[in-house]
Structure 1
Amino acid sequence: MKTATSNSKPIFWRDAHLPHVELRKVGDGREVCYAPHSHTQWSIGAITGGESTFQYRDNQYRVQAGDLVLMNPEWVHACNPIDNKLWAYLMLYVDTTWLTDLRFRAGLLPELRWQDISTATISDPIWFERYCSLAQCLLEPGHELLEKQSKVVEFLSDLMHELSKQPVATAPKTPGILTDLAHYLDDHAADDVSLDTLCELSGFSPGHLIRAFKQHFGLTPHAYLLNRRVQLGRHELKNGTPIAEAALNSGFSDQPHFQRAFKRLMAATPNQYRRGSTEHKVQATRRQQ
């Protein structure tokens, strides 16, 4: 039990010289459960042990060791263990703007604008091995910066070319008023937003507003706002902001509320996430010296 608990603690890899990528590693995910959430980044994960469920918008997949899972930015998802069985994984988060530029420069996008990817899972040992090789290069000390940068670009470039052969992902068009509400929540994520205000902006009744918003975004307005606040807090912690200050800057009334929300959506404590950032800043400083 002691070993499982130790392995369940996530490892977050970040490097100031590669600000567009971030890697998470969990050795035993039996104690790791996620509430439905989304990220601003494009994400790709590798199941390195056991199996789990992968809820991706309205679809659910059963994935196992050797599978890759792919998540578009802002698409609601959740991965969770099955019947307390072993589950280990790696997750790479890629800055959407950077990846859009990479795809555009490779001639894979008609304009410099993000285009969702239709593929949700990949079960191919070659791509799985390449992913794990990239993760190993990033996680293990001793690899030079140029090697890490080259492996990131090479892997993602090749994968984007492969995925471009698939049909373009299409999603139901979201009514403009709901899009405007989402943008309002984005802009006021750290504010005390009321349901009355959202109803005034949309002209909807409270019940209709909540149903319509969840139908198109996969989250209620409150869950959407909470998700945004956690992402704001994540950005603050990544930059080394103290936890209590990050909580207030992200719109949480106090640190305990921030701790609970962060743990539910990130399956890690704010301290675990921030510590990963601090450790790699120290490593980057040592390399410069």
Structure 2
Amino acid sequence: MSANRLLARPWLPGVELFHADFSGQAFGRHSHDAFAIGAILHGVGGYQCRGARHAIPAGKLSLMNPEEPHTGHAESERLVYRMLYIEEARLPVLLGRKVLPRGFRELNPADDGAVAAGLARLAAEFERNDALALESELLAVLELVFVRHGGLRAAVPASRDGGVTARLRDYLETHYTEAIGLEQLAALVQRHPRHLIDAFRRAYGVPPHTYLLQRRVREAKRRLLQGEPLLDVALALGFYDQAHFSGTFKRFTGVTPGHFRRSAGMPA
């Protein structure tokens, strides 16, 4: 039995997210032309690499360097994990560093859950059509895992860069209904995406993609109170579908759009 899914986006080359859910499947000896960053969600994974057999229970990470030969199989009846594949050639652009990671020394280190949580958020964004949120979560995962496990030095916090962040905020306020990508914003203000996110967070307390969602929710309230249908509001404000709109609305307000409208004495 297999329910595997491999997720990719054409505008994000060199990046794939594999959601594995299988029983009895095995992968013969092979290698990847990318770093592999994974977290076991259920069961026990196993593989042979570097002359040894490894068993990885839930709660541990699975880290692999490019071109590192290994096998893969389930040690348990069912195995569920998420694995991010990122081509090495993409790291200079994505990380914006002069000194890049040396690679992973330990194949399956224990983790405090931060990397696994980041992969979960990244997987959720792959399901939506929100380039800004997806690229922001990707940078956060890469920074986290390579600083903790890949020998990358922690970045120096960005300054608030007031003129740049104010310009970016004004752009988001004006273009909040549009599909916006992180590289698009970085080109607009001539800053690296990582610097842009750090500086914006220091200036306004949240990263750009969160600010954008907050702006959309604020406009959604206004439109809902004017009686616009929920689906029309969702699509007009750039949400993937009504479920995405409802989940985001509840995240910021504590209630669903329908509940919000009913509380105002209007039909949901």
TM-score, normalization: structure 1? 0.48
Mapping for residues 127-138 of structure 1, pairs under 5 Å: 127-138=115-126
Task: Please give the secondary structure, in 2, of the residue aligned with 1:122.
Answer: coil
Q: Give the match for residue 212 of structure 1.
A: none
In the TM superposition, residue 117 of structure 1 has moved relative to its aligned partner by 2.3
Structure-2 residue corresponding to 1:11: 5
| 8 A Cα contact 1:12 1:24, kept in partner | yes
The alpha carbon displacement at 1:137 in A equals 2.0
Alignment of structure 1 residues 197-276 onto 2, 5 Å: none
Greater helix content: 1
* Aligned residue type for 2:133: E
Seen in structure 2, the aligned counterparts of structure 1 residues 52 and 163 have a Cα distance that, compared at 3 Å, is closer
Shift of 1:165: 4.2
- TM-align CA RMSD: 2.4
Q: Percent identity?
A: 26
Question: What is the count of residue pairs matched by the alignment?
Answer: 153
Task: Give the one of 134, 147, 153 matched to 2:133.
Answer: 147
Match of 2:185 in 1: none
Deviations 1:45-90 (CA, angstroms, capped at 9, x unpaired): 22111112132221222111122101111100122112x5111111
* Residue in 2 that maps onto 1:38: 31
Which stretches in structure 2 are left out of the alignment for 5+ residues? 153-239, 241-268
Mean CA deviation greater in 46-55 or 32-41: 46-55
Q: Is the 8 A contact 2:39 2:61 kept in 1?
A: yes
Aligned residue for 1:195? none
The answer as to 2:16 corresponding to 1:25 is no
Give the whole-Å Cα distance in 2 for the aligned partners of 1:37 and 1:136.
28
Please state how far the C-alpha of 1:36 moved relative to its aligned partner: 0.9
1:123 is aligned, of 90, 93, 110, to: 110
Question: Contact conserved, 2:27 with 2:72, CA < 8 A, in 1?
Answer: yes
TM-score (norm 2): 0.52
Per-residue CA distance 1:21-43 (angstroms, 9 max, x = gap): 1111122x213101110011111
Of residues 119-128 and 69-78 in structure 1, the stretch that sits farther from structure 2 once superposed is 119-128
* Residue of structure 1 in register with 2:54 after alignment: 61
* d(CA) in 1 for partners of 2:150, 2:64: 15
Find the aligned partners of 2:86 and 2:30 in 1 and give their Cα distance. 16
Partners of 2:147 and 2:97 in 1: CA distance: 8
* Alignment check: 8 A CA contact 1:42 1:72 kept: yes
Structure 1 counterpart of 2:144, one-letter code:
D
User: C-alpha displacement at 1:156, in angstroms?
Assistant: 0.3
Task: Deviation per CA, 1:204-247: give whole Å up to 9, x if none.
Answer: xxxxxxxxxxxxxxxxxxxxxxxxxxxxxxxxxxxxxxxxxxxx
- Verify the 8 A CA contact 1:52 1:64 in the aligned structure 2: yes
Deviation string, structure 1 residues 245-264 (Cα, Å, up to 9, x no partner)? xxxxxxxxxxxxxxxxxxxx
Aligned equivalents of 1:136 and 1:122: distance in 2? 24
State the Cα deviation string for residues 91-117 of structure 1 (Å, max 9, x = none): 2110110125545x33443xxxx7432
More RCO (CA 8 Å, sep 6+): 1
Residue type of the partner of 1:145? A
Deviation digits for residues 167-188 of structure 1 (CA, Å, limit 9, x no counterpart): xxxxxxxxxxxxxxxxxxxxxx
Match of 2:66 among 61, 73, 76: 73
Q: Which residue number corresponds to residue 99 of structure 1? A: 91
Deviation track 1:114-157 (CA, whole Å, cap 9, x = no partner) reads 7432121132122222222222222x23x511110111012102
Alpha-carbon distance in structure 2 between the residues aligned to 1:102 and 1:161: 14
Matched-pair contact (CA < 8 Å) for 1:102–1:157? no
Task: Please tell me whether the aligned partners of residues 82 and 119 of structure 2 are also in contact (alpha carbons under 8 angstroms).
Answer: no
Seen in structure 2, the aligned counterparts of structure 1 residues 134 and 46 have a Cα distance that, compared at 3 Å, is same
- For 2:66 and 2:130, the matched residues in 1 are separated by 30
